[in-house]
Amino acid sequence: MASSQKNLSSFNYSKDQHVSNYRFGIVVSEWNEEVTESMFEGAISTIISMGGNRNNITRLDVPGSFELTMGAQHLAQLREVDAVICLGCVIQGETRHFDFICQAVAQGITDVGVKYNKPVIFGVLTTDTLKQALDRAGGKHGNKGDEAGATAVKMLTALNS
């Protein structure tokens, strides 16, 4: 497994002044809250460290990862939001429920971005265990929230340059 060998949240960026004008919507799943809260904090701190303004970040909580798509659509349709970040965590169980949820969320988030022509970032962990999720939400493999925040900034910068 490649991720066992490095911190996945290592990336290079430069602080960009016009980032402070970008407005972000972050949809956070309440399911696996210990994981998603850490990811949320990572996304916010990364956006701010890249020059973003905390006052330009809107949060929307949804019950679970399946509902991230509807939350993303709600935020993406707002003129006051330039990019949407979806943060969730789906952990494999004993049934195929995991497969259906993961596929639906991935496709739904992609569809929202295309429909509204805005960056809609997939910050959803799909792991076998809670430990793997925690390792990727601020643990030894970094924080997927950091990556999602950086991706949103980089996409906005790329699309608006």
What are the catalytic residues? Answer: 97
Q: How far apart are CA 87 and CA 127, in angstroms?
A: 14
Would you give the DSSP letter of residue 80? T
Residue 10 is given by DSSP the state -
Locate 64 and state its tokens. Answer: 């679970």
The residue behind tokens 């460290």 is 49
Q: What's the rounded Cα separation, in Å, for the pair 83 and 104?
A: 20
Q: How far apart are CA 56 and CA 68, in angstroms?
A: 20
Give the contacts of 8 (CB within 8 A, at least 6 positions apart).
136, 141, 142, 144, 147
Would you state the torsion angle of the CA atoms of residues 41, 46, 49, 50, taken in this order, to the nearest 10 degrees?
-150
